[in-house]
Amino acid sequence: MDLSSIRKLITRYCTGEESWVDSRTVYIGQKEPPPGTEAYIPQRFPDNRIVSSKYTFWNFIPKNLFEQFRRIANFYFLIIFLVQLIIDTPTSPTTSGLPLFFVITVTAIKQGYEDWIRHKADNAINQCPVHIIQHGKVVRKQSQKLRVGDIVQVKENETFPCDLILLSTSREDGTCFVTTASLDGESSHKTYYAVQDTKAFNTAEEVDTLHATIECEQPQPDLYKFVGRINIYLDRDEPIVRPLGSENLLLRGATLKNTEYIHAVAIYTGMETKMALNYQSKSQKRSAVEKSMNAYLIVYLCILISKALINTVLKYAWQANPNRDEPWYNQKTETERQRHVLIRAFTDFLAFMVLFNYIIPVSMYVTVEMQKFLGSYFILWDDDMFDEELGEGPLVNTSDLNEELGQVEYVFTDKTGTLTENNMELRECCVDGHVYVPHAICNGQILPGATGMDMIDSSPGVDGKEREELFFRALCLCHTVQVKEEETVDGIKRGIHQGKSTSFYISSSPDEVALVEGMKRLGFTYLRLKDSHMEILNREDEMERFELLEVLNFDSVRRRMSVIVRSSSGDYYLFCKGADSSVFPRVVSGKVEQVRARVEHNAVEGLRTLCVAYKKLTHEEYEETCHLLNRAKLALQDRDKKLAEAYDVIEKDFILLGATAVEDRLQDKAADTIESLHKAGMKVWVLTGDKMETAAATCYASKLFHRNTQILELTTKRTEEQSLHDVLFDLSRTVLRQHGSMTRDTFSGLSGDYQDYGLIIDGATLSAVLKPTQEVTSNGGNYKEIFLEICRNCSAVLCCRMAPLQKAQIVKMIKASKERPITLAIGDGANDVSMILEAHVGIGIMGKEGRQAARNSDYAITKFKHLKKMLLVHGHYYYIRIAELVQYFFYKNVCFIFPQFLYQFFCGFSQQPLYDTAYLTLYNISFTSLPILLYSLMEQHINMDILKRDPTLYRDIAKNSLLRWPTFIYWTFLGVFDAVVFFFGAFFLFDNTTFTSNGQMFGNWTFGTLVFTVLVFTVTLKLALDTHYWTWINHFVIWGSLLFYVIFSLLWGGIIWPFLNYQRMYYVFMQMLSSGPAWLSIILLIIVSLLPDVVKKVLCRALWPTTTERIQNADKLYKGHLSEFTPLSSLHAPPVRKHDRHGNENQNRTHRRSDSSPPKKLMCTYWGGRPDYCTFSSFLRIGENPRFSGPAYAYSTPGPETSV
């Protein structure tokens, strides 16, 4: 046990549990404190090495093998391989060992490469130089050698190497500016403060003379919380004690800006830094396709065991006759006769398992991994998703979820910076009911010559003028904005006017910059903060100075901030600005109603509103306030709670001055994207921290809510009037009155015959709904279930006043609902990370709030509008491709192994293989692997432009429709049918065994080779028939694979290979090809095998075509130019007939071929400059159904009939 542990135990048990704090003591500069002050007990802390890699050189092989064999399929094939080594089995161990080795090797190389990249990144960070002050000199060291207590010098634009406490800066006021974009996603500048008593230590020599210790909490991951205190030993007996908070803590990964240099002491290093503690090990996300694959694997494993069991039983039934058990040519040895029958039966069971084990497609996993990895590059290479302004394109952080992009049912989006641009501009001020706008407006016209901020109503009186100037001063003083006076900010020339360098504002909040710039246009210019004095320039160009005494920082709970300043005349003012809900209750006078009315009006217009208030303080009140704040700041325990209590006491009895309105514009094509997602059958929820009215206005602007949407409110205001129980049941009755128990999952607000509902809920009410300690209601459900039922029947939901954790709770709640829908979360800030990690698919936007959301996401895009193509095009393609890949793999393995099963009935269940060892080994590795891999990368069943134009096509693949059990059973039975045709077709053709012209008979290897040849050609041609998008690569791979099989067979059987101890395939393939009947049987069996699937597809396309098939038919008719057409339904929403109401639901369901009125595509084309409307119905006229003739069907809302 080390000294630190002993110290902790002594402190804990000698001082009492209630006063014990799990803290650490840091000795600045590794110096002992002066004698007699406190005991020097050095503690052991980790070095500054960062480790994000998973493997080392020594543990890679064992650790990687252990992880790979945790996968059921790999472990299963390992067991089969060991069984082949241990007992006498009908096939060589190579047949299982080689594919397994191939899969394990490819996966290990991929994972090793990814980890090598992580090692390189770690080394780059750990070996970067840092400057440390030792013995009064600046010494250069590697970052990994930094220790807790070292004093570090950091220069402008350098990144902090660990978590530091700021001691001094190059600025006289002891402040520095920092960007924390890599940590919390906020790219704007934040201000940090040096300890008041150490800010004068500016040189390395001066800093080295400092004697001090820091007591602080042990490392914890909260970026915004830090509690500590510094003891500074000067020439006096007692040390000076100062509080330390988050405003003194510089976090690893943040960057120093607009400050020449700083000196700071390391307190948390390496994996104990807050950044490292926030390395959230992302929970392994598994796609719906992967879950289907595992379910199918279990089914095939059961089939395998059944086959082996049946054959074992039948073998012993067959061998009940002694003549069959021991024929004269194959007598048993004495050892074999003495073995117990159960042991022999078990051995035979294992041998049959080995013989049939190829029904489990081990190579499918490596093919799927390669498909996902290579397929992800199509997103990276998409020029449409490249942003010229940022100079960046999309990012793929994980390729495991590509196909999940085609299965999304719920989209959860942030508002600010995601739907909007996060580019703030002051639109209006309201002072005592008088409104100011950027330009004077009269009857909707801008008055000529209007400059700056002008009033649109009557001018205030003398008193009003004073209040107006006080309001503008409040906005100039109540902020944390810093002034940058150089020409460049972060290397970009800004703030230059007429060739001259002017001041430029930087802040952690873009709202604050917008307000201060608005005041500048009005005539009140904030100049700088100098020597704790804020300087402003009034309208008369006179400089006013206010001493900044205290800053009560903004936090998301209070939703306001305050400053205490002293004017040059000695008056004390407390200015406060914040959300209306947090300011109005604390106001005792002022024109509250007029301001409240204006705030509500602006909120409805979608503007971000803030209220401004103030109160004057006497000297005694100020002293009492200082005492309250200092006592709270020095607390090591519950500091945040005590500060909140102090703020609550201080911030009250305000006089209301007015309000501001800031505009945050919608992003380009945000409304179009949301509308397309709705048409695609997705439900869009907006989760934001903004106030309800502002968020609701944004939702209307972005077409989340429509003008005919009936808004349902589940807010604190309503639950104060009624109990939560009553409100929930009222809303439930409202939405279910018309729908009955039917949900709106398939409507998404598209059907005009249904009342469109939109729900608005706030954070406080959501907390009450999600409380676990709820009594069960009379109808058997709790609040959460009722809330979910309401949400299901709403086309859109807005959640406002949300904390980051609540966003994740909502996503988790929807994920866990009984339908188990696939969810997607998209956001741009650090406050969105929790929901991005929680959702099935997380998408980050590389926006103005930094890159943390993008780094923690599965995919990253530059603009919200790119989500449309990512889901409707890339997601659609990914799902179609991998669904075909999975079904095809199981199909071709059934075709492969079922003839082997049938063969046992004709060889006395002797475990004789039907195929040669080389064919068994290479079937999945070489002969049939490349065509399906290329298909899964290149296939485009519908033109890309059509998928973008017609979002409703996304519904055809919803709810994992292509991997449902009926589809899986169809593919399995198709495989069984083909296998029966291969085997019995060849068997009956072999009835006359003299197949060759010279009268020579075919043997069992020729029979097996004939079956295998038909098998390879059939499964490859089946894939060719399923291919819609042909390129030269497809032709090369498909026909090349068949050619490779023929050439390999000719070489394998045409040469006597010296390394083989048998030559059973010698001249077999050539002999088979020399027979005319063999050629005829191969061609005939291939045609018979493929015919049922072709007939089924032709009939289904003609009689019951799906929406996708109808589009494919039309595209073929117009030779690939369908993408030039414009859907008429996108121009006019079709009316819905009442008698079609129930039919509409059926038609929206995926792959419902039996619909009574399948939709047709009504298109507007331009031939020779004149529009021509044509209807695409079934172009294959076999069995034309008279129901399909008649008026055209609108396509964007499947089902309803529209006459033209």
Q: In this structure, what token pair is assigned to residue 675? A: 């509308």
Active site includes 414?
yes
Q: How many residues make up the chain in this entry?
A: 1204
Q: In this structure, what token pair is assigned to residue 985? A: 């077709």
Residue 799 to residue 765: CA distance in whole angstroms: 10
Sign of CA dihedral 938, 943, 948, 950: negative
In the chain, the N- to C-terminal Cα span, in Å, equals 87
The response to whether 669 counts as a known ligand-binding position is no
Residue 1133 to residue 756: CA distance in whole angstroms: 15
The response to whether 590 counts as a known ligand-binding position is no
CB-hemisphere CA count at 13 Å for 793?
23
Q: What share of the chain is helix, strand, coil (3-state, %, to 5)?
A: 45, 20, 35
The response to whether 690 counts as a known ligand-binding position is yes
H or E stretch at 979: helix 965-989
The response to whether 688 counts as a known ligand-binding position is yes
The response to whether 898 counts as a known ligand-binding position is no
Q: Helix H segments across 46-194?
A: 60-68, 72-86, 94-126, 181-184
Q: In this structure, what token pair is assigned to residue 515? A: 């307000």
Options 150, 163, 348, 414, the catalytic residue: 414
Helix (H/G/I), strand (E/B), else coil: 41: coil
Residue 784 to residue 1130: CA distance in whole angstroms: 37
Helix (H/G/I), strand (E/B), else coil: 99: helix
Residue written as token pair 């649109």: 456
The response to whether 44 counts as a known ligand-binding position is no
CB contact at 8 A, 974 and 1095:
no
Residue 753 to residue 747: CA distance in whole angstroms: 11
What string of DSSP letters covers 812-864? HHHHTSTT---EEEEESSGGGHHHHHHSSEEEEE-BTTBSHHHHHSSEEESST
577 contact partners, CB below 8 Å, separation of at least 6: 474, 475, 478, 560, 561, 562, 583, 610, 611, 612, 613, 660
Residue written as token pair 């920092």: 178
The response to whether 831 counts as a known ligand-binding position is yes
Residue 1181 to residue 994: CA distance in whole angstroms: 47
What phi and psi values does residue 1131 have, to the nearest 5 degrees? -95, -35
Q: C-alpha dihedral over 85, 86, 88, 94, to 10 degrees?
A: -10
Residue 696 to residue 713: CA distance in whole angstroms: 11
Helix (H/G/I), strand (E/B), else coil: 903: helix
Name the burial class of residue 156, with classes exposed (0-12), middle (13-18) and buried (19+) by CB atoms within 10 angstroms of its CB: middle
The response to whether 828 counts as a known ligand-binding position is yes
Helix (H/G/I), strand (E/B), else coil: 43: coil
What phi and psi values does residue 848 have, to the nearest 5 degrees? -80, -10
Sign of CA dihedral 137, 142, 145, 149: positive
How many beta carbons lie within 10 A of that of residue 930, not counting itself? 18
The response to whether 180 counts as a known ligand-binding position is no
The response to whether 807 counts as a known ligand-binding position is yes
Residue 125 to residue 110: CA distance in whole angstroms: 23
What string of DSSP letters covers 983-1050? HHHHHHHTTS---STT-PPP-HHHHHHHHHHHHHHHHHHHHHHH--S--HHHHHHHHHHHHHHHHHHH
CB contact at 8 A, 886 and 292:
yes
Residue 576 to residue 652: CA distance in whole angstroms: 10
Q: In this structure, what token pair is assigned to residue 86? A: 């241990």
The response to whether 414 counts as a known ligand-binding position is yes
The response to whether 511 counts as a known ligand-binding position is no
Helix (H/G/I), strand (E/B), else coil: 790: helix
The response to whether 554 counts as a known ligand-binding position is yes
Annotated binding site for Mg(2+): 414, 416, 828, 832
Q: Which residues are catalytic?
A: 414
Annotated binding site: 414-416, 512, 554, 577, 608, 688-690, 801, 807, 828, 831-832
Annotated binding site for ATP: 414-416, 512, 554, 577, 608, 688-690, 801, 807, 831-832
